[in-house]
Amino acid sequence: MGAGRGTRMKSAKPKVLHLLAGRSLLQHVLSATSELGAGLTLVIAGFEARQVEAAVAGTGVRCVLQEPQLGTGHAVQQAVPLLPEAGTTLVLNGDVPLIERDTAQALVAACGGAQLALLTVELADPTGYGRIVRDGQGRVRAIVEDKDASPEQRAITEGYTGMLAAPTAWLKRAVMALDNRNAQREYYLTDLVAIAVAEGLPVVAAKAHNELEVAGINSPMQLAELERRVQRRQAEALMESGVRLADPARFDQRGTLVCGQDVSIDVGCVFEGDVRLGDAVTIGAHCVIRNARIEAGALIQPFTHITDATIGPRAEVGPFARLRPGAALGPEVHIGNFVEVKNSTLGKGAKANHLAYLGDATVGERVNYGAGSITANYDGANKHRTVIGNDVHVGSNCVLVAPITVGDGATIGGGSTVSKDAPAGQLTVARAKQVSTAGWTRPKKVAK
């Protein structure tokens, strides 16, 4: 269920599309249930439904519109025409992102196609949760909302999470029998318990492993609090595997992070998408690394940004460097401060140590690329490639106007703008003749 507006989020975005650890709340739920073997997965959308539909487009998930939003029972009513006649239906909340696959599977198993199974959780402080009321034999008899509970019922520590599994044929009939005779004039899914008890359908409970996996999001504050709890859990898992985190409270993993042995990560780093770090990789403070492979022994200096790039063994990057998509650094490459690399490969031992740009370039081994030098790869309509051979020395403040090839062992004199191929083993200089004018006087300001 993901139709709610989430008014406390104060956002034009549907609540289920807000991000937690780099993925939307809805993506978390769909990921947890993707391996359950469901024949049909439905997302009930309402507020800004087109955004939700776009988010699941191409995944095989179907959207059902709930408009207007008249409660949880009303939400499931909208799905009834699409549900099959047999099997088990699992109902989860799109704003409860950390539900675990094993828990969802256990809930389906508890239903077994023949019982109404509720997902519950033991809480030290169950305030706000509906209480699970059992009879003397431990059978579930009712759910009592917090505001309606008696003092004795409020002492119950087993709370209802809002998620359930039910025999599909029974659910289709029972949910259409719900009424809205309550203060909110809404149709509540919790009323299914009373229907089941009255009809003699067994009601059972499956318990969540912990409070974290059933924590819901209703406000930016709750989202931020859950983000830190998730990040702490991820940080602890990395440290248990041997990763050295300078401070687990200042670490953000917003995707997949796979680390080898003896990896060290300083404070303030953000990892997004799919990132893989080889043995003995060191990541300096405040780096942002997205979809990258960094091989053994590489050193990433502080404040480096890396996106869709690969970095070879024992390479050194940064500080304040930027690797854009398509950057591929070979072994022992050095990329220094304020150097940007895009869609370029650099061979073993190549160096661009400061204030330079390499775009759409193929750079050979042991190249020294001087400060202030750039590849002029874009003519306003098309990108062109620069090829730099092995053992080339490019002086400072050079412009290599692509398409161009610089042969092995060539030297480009500082300050040159080179627009033709530079021969191998030769010095190429392309700059204006220096002129000094005797007797020239610098203009002076006129006194006011």
Query: Which residues does 236 contact at the CB level (< 8 Å), separation at least 6?
Result: 248
Is 437 a residue whose pLDDT tops 80? yes
Share of the chain above pLDDT 70, in %: 100
Tell me the CB-side half-sphere exposure of residue 86, using CA atoms within 13 A.
0
* CA 183/CA 72 separation, integer angstroms: 15
pLDDT tens-digit series, residues 289-322: 999 999 999 999 999 999 999 999 999 999 999 9
The pLDDT of residue 184 is: 79
* CA 55/CA 422 separation, integer angstroms: 50
Highest mean pLDDT among 72-86, 124-138, 189-203, 393-407: 393-407
Query: Homologous superfamily of 7-214 in CATH?
Result: Spore Coat Polysaccharide Biosynthesis Protein SpsA; Chain A (3.90.550.10)
Residues marked active site are found at 354
108 within 8 A of 92, measured Cβ to Cβ? no
* CA 217/CA 209 separation, integer angstroms: 18
pLDDT tens-digit series, residues 152-164: 999 999 999 999 9
Is 146 a residue whose pLDDT tops 90? no
The pLDDT of residue 426 is: 97
Hey, what amino acid is at 108?
V
Query: Which residues does 261 contact at the CB level (< 8 Å), separation at least 6?
Result: 242, 279, 280
* CA 437/CA 435 separation, integer angstroms: 7
Written as one string, the DSSP assignment of 177-192 is T----STT----GGGH
Is 148 a residue whose pLDDT tops 90? no
370 within 8 A of 395, measured Cβ to Cβ? yes
Closest CA to 406 of 436, 355, 434, 370: 370
* CA 303/CA 441 separation, integer angstroms: 46
Q: 3 falls in which pLDDT band (50, 70, 90)? A: confident
Q: Which of 1-10, 155-164, 212-221, 256-265 has the lowest mean pLDDT?
A: 1-10
Tell me the CB-side half-sphere exposure of residue 35, using CA atoms within 13 A.
8
Is 105 a residue whose pLDDT tops 90? yes
Query: Homologous superfamily of 234-428 in CATH?
Result: Hexapeptide repeat proteins (2.160.10.10)
Is 121 a residue whose pLDDT tops 80? yes
pLDDT tens-digit series, residues 349-367: 999 999 999 999 999 999 9
The pLDDT of residue 443 is: 87
Sequence ranges of the domains in the chain? 7-214, 234-428
Is 183 a residue whose pLDDT tops 80? no
